[in-house]
């Protein structure tokens, strides 16, 4: 926001230097970016945060300066002289999309003389970097920079049907804007139309057909309130940003709309002449209710560490535009007896003031952060990490020990990538009306596509070994309504399938789940069917692990081997045992046995492992995969040999060789029944 030093002093009498004003405003939260001379004026540039749209104008900055320096604020009266012709006889206004436009005010000035603006107006606009156009347009820009309310002026004589209709654009509708470019509109965009055609892109830019020209004699003044998200979406889709859209995106003062309209009419009468029709056509939804906020003076001491006199607190809040509520009207549950609190209603332009802590911050920044000593003792209350933080901390330790780095990606991806990998849901992904990135329009159902794109980007920059993980939510559609948000952990790595499976098993082991998660066969698009598996816990899929196919690597433009894993964290967060427990070692010896099973080629080791574990039950201490052997001349066509080792131990006694052999025979019988396995001779 650029502020004219001379213009600022119209509203607040400051007897300090511009440098001191910039310094004090910076201390109050409006960071000074720099100053430069423009003619005989000084342009002061301030950084305005997104929660303070009220400071995107000279009156907003003047209000802050008045509060900081304790001087009165001078507000222009905005009382234009009206004629006798009622405005309702000249223009009709209808809002067909109240969700996109909640207020529209129109005034008509007839008999204006369009021409160059006076020099004082030209100089002020030039200080702000604005190019003068003509007196009527310049006045609307002046009022915008004065109070922050965007305005638009139409050539009333070019409006068909003496009608304004605020509606959604129709399919295929186009408009030539005042920048003389043609824009194609869609049904999500709000337009201002006359009886037949759009005459402005609501909140963004006016149309060329009704722009003010030297031949204009009658002017319609628009002052309105639009939905911020709608304006932001329209501005991005069209690639068209203006001073108006910048402010509408952040929200305007709902009670300042009429003041801006009156102020614009007042200046037009003063500079361009004409006659103002009586009244205004003002179509409005109910204004938002402003609820009382109570500030307990004791909270200032507790939070800031210093005492601020109650009278000083009241002066600060009143200077910022708050209205104090009498004690008899206060029904706040936190109000303190004996006058130890103050209850106020925040001004309409400060929608960011909603809680007691907001008022504490206002008092602190206006009173002066520099008045809070560095060594003031502030009570510190102990806190504890949540269960989720503790579980995720353990998982992050495992991943860091494995040499895998954490990444953070956006939740929106392109539709093709979303379709490439979605093991958790077959429902179509939810679409967003406002793409965060070009070409990305759906909420992700898996973290894997985002991480694969990130790995490809790293490889393109020469970082070939980008092993990454992310912990974030995915959004799984569930019919009508909001999606089901699931917290997931995903990994992409250049390691092989077995190595990545070991990392996942290490995470599950660190979680100390009360039951074992078993690997099972899975057929998921993008994964190699011979090098992939799902892991189930209590009968439900908890993880998918696998090496991606050559086609998948080409789809994501990856070089070299890539394996992926995605884990549902809800079971881990719910059942993880965070308290390590001591289990005594069995005093009885272990017995080891090796098995060499001949199975069909399509039989997977993961399925055999499940059978072995279920057969051995409590006696199995460790199961290890050794090797896979293939030789058609010895095993037969379509056969392979799986070599595995088991370690058996009984907690209550010594297992005899006869018992161990019996368990071995039970394993062979179970594998034969389920997988057609034969013990290799």
The radius of gyration of the chain's CA atoms, rounded to the nearest angstrom, is 36
Cβ-contact 31, 46 below 8 angstroms: yes
Task: Catalogue all structural domains in the chain, each as residue range(s) with its CATH number.
Answer: 2-69 (3.30.56.10), 82-284 (3.50.40.10), 292-369 (3.30.56.10), 387-575 (3.30.930.10), 591-679 (3.30.70.380)
The span from the CA of 118 to the CA of 307, in Å, is: 51
Instruction: Specify burial of residue 384 (Cβ count, 10 A radius: 0-12, 13-18, 19+).
Output: exposed
Mean pLDDT by 10 residues, the chain (681 residues): 95 93 93 93 94 94 95 93 95 94 96 96 95 95 96 95 95 93 93 95 95 96 95 92 94 94 96 95 88 93 89 94 76 57 94 94 92 75 88 95 94 90 91 74 93 94 91 90 92 93 92 83 88 89 94 92 95 89 85 94 86 91 90 91 94 91 94 93 78
502 — phi, psi (to 5°)?
Answer: -65, -35
Looking at residue 337, its pLDDT comes to: 53
Cα 240 from Cα 570, distance rounded (Å): 43
Task: State residue 478's pLDDT score.
Answer: 85
Q: Are 341 and 297 in contact (CB under 8 A)?
A: yes
Q: Collapsing DSSP states into helix, strand and coil, what is residue 478?
A: coil
Phi, psi of 483 (to 5 degrees): -75, 165
Query: Cα–Cα distance between 73 and 275 in angstroms, integer?
Result: 30
Q: What is the pLDDT of residue 464?
A: 83
From residue 370, give the alpha-carbon distance in Å to each of 65, 303, 469. 17, 15, 43
Nearest to 112 by CA among 151, 130, 138, 131: 138
- Report the C-alpha gap between 660 and 426 in whole angstroms: 46
pLDDT at 668: 94
At 556 the pLDDT is 93
Q: Can you read off the two tokens belonging to residue 180?
A: 């003389």
Residue 406 CB neighbour total at 10 angstroms: 11
Q: Confirm if 284 and 94 have CB atoms less than 8 A apart.
A: no
How much is the pLDDT for 305? 85
* pLDDT for residue 375: 76
- What does the block give as tokens for 48? 């305005």
Chain centre distance of CA 485? 15
pLDDT at 174: 95
d(CA 678, CA 394): 42
What confidence score (pLDDT) does residue 322 get? 94
SS (H, E, C) 37-74: EECCEEEEEEECCCCCHHHCCHHHHHHHHHHHHCCCCC
pLDDT of residue 378: 66
Report the candidate in 260, 237, 264 with the shortest Cα–Cα distance to residue 247.
260
Residue 481's alpha-carbon distances to 405, 435, 443, 478, in angstroms, are 35, 20, 14, 7
Whole-model pTM over 0.75? no
Euclidean distance between CA atoms 171 and 156, whole angstroms: 26
* pLDDT for position 304: 87
């Amino acid at each position: 926001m650029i502020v004219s030093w001379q213009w600022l002093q119209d509203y607040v009498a400051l007897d300090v230097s511009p440098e001191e004003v910039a310094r004090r405003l910076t201390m109050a939260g409006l960071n000074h970016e720099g100053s430069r001379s423009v003619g005989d004026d000084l342009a002061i540039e301030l950084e305005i945060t997104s929660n303070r749209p009220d400071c995107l104008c000279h009156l907003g900055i003047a209000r802050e300066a008045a509060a900081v320096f304790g001087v009165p604020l001078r507000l222009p009266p905005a009382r234009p002289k009206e004629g006798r012709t009622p405005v309702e006889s000249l223009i009709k206004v209808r809002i067909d999309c109240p969700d996109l436009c909640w207020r529209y005010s129109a005034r008509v000035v007839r008999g204006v003389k369009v021409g160059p603006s006076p020099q004082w107006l030209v100089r002020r606009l030039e200080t702000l970097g604005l190019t003068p156009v003509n007196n009527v347009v310049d006045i609307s820009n002046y009022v915008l920079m004065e109070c922050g309310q965007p305005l638009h002026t139409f050539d009333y004589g070019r409006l068909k049907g003496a009608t304004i209709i605020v509606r959604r654009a129709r399919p295929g509708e186009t408009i030539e804007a005042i920048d003389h470019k043609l824009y194609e509109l869609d049904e999500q965009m709000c337009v201002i139309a006359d009886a037949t055609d759009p005459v402005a892109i609501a909140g963004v830019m006016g149309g060329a057909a009704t722009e003010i020209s030297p031949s204009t004699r009658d002017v319609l003044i628009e002052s309105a309130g639009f939905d911020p998200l709608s304006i932001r979406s329209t501005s991005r889709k069209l690639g068209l940003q203006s001073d108006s859209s910048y402010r509408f995106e952040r929200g305007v003062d709902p009670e300042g709309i009429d003041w801006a309209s009156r102020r614009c009419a007042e200046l037009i009468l003063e500079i361009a002449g004409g006659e103002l029709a009586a009244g205004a056509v003002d179509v409005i939804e109910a204004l938002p209710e402003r609820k009382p906020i109570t500030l307990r003076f004791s909270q200032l001491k507790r939070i800031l560490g210093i005492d601020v006199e109650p009278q000083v607190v009241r002066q600060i809040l009143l200077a910022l535009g708050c209205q104090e509520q009498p004690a008899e009207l206060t029904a706040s549950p936190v109000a303190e007896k004996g006058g130890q609190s103050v209850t106020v209603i925040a001004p309409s332009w400060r929608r960011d003031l909603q809680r007691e802590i907001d008022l504490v911050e206002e008092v602190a920044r206006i009173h002066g952060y520099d008045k809070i000593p560095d060594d003031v003792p502030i009570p510190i209350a102990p806190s504890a990490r949540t269960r989720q933080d503790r579980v995720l901390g353990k998982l992050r330790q495992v991943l860091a020990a494995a040499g895998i780095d954490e990444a953070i990606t956006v939740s929106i991806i392109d539709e093709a990538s979303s379709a490439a990998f979605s093991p958790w849901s077959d429902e179509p992904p939810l679409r967003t009306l406002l793409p965060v990135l070009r070409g990305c329009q759906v909420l992700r159902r898996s973290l894997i596509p985002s991480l694969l794109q990130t790995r490809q980007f790293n490889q393109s920059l020469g970082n070939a070994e980008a092993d990454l993980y992310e912990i974030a939510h995915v959004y799984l559609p569930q019919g009508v309504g909001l999606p089901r948000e699931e917290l997931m952990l995903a990994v992409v790595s250049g390691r092989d399938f077995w190595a990545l499976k070991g990392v996942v098993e290490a995470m599950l082991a660190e979680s100390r789940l009360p039951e074992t998660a078993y690997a099972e066969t899975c057929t998921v698009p993008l994964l190699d069917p011979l090098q992939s598996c799902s892991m189930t816990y209590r009968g439900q899929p908890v993880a998918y692990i696998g090496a991606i196919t050559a086609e998948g690597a080409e789809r994501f433009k990856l070089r070299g081997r890539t394996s992926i894993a995605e884990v549902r964290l809800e079971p881990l967060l719910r059942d993880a045992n965070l308290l390590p427990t001591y289990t005594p070692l069995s005093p009885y010896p272990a017995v080891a046995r090796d098995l060499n099973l001949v199975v069909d080629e399509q039989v997977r080791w993961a399925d055999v492992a499940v059978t072995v574990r279920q057969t051995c039950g409590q006696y199995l201490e460790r199961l290890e995969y050794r090797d896979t052997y293939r030789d058609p001349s010895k095993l037969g066509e379509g056969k392979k040999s799986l070599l595995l080792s088991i370690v058996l131990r009984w907690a209550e006694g010594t297992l005899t060789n006869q018992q161990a052999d019996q368990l071995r025979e039970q394993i062979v019988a179970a594998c034969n029944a389920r997988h057609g396995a034969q013990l290799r001779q």
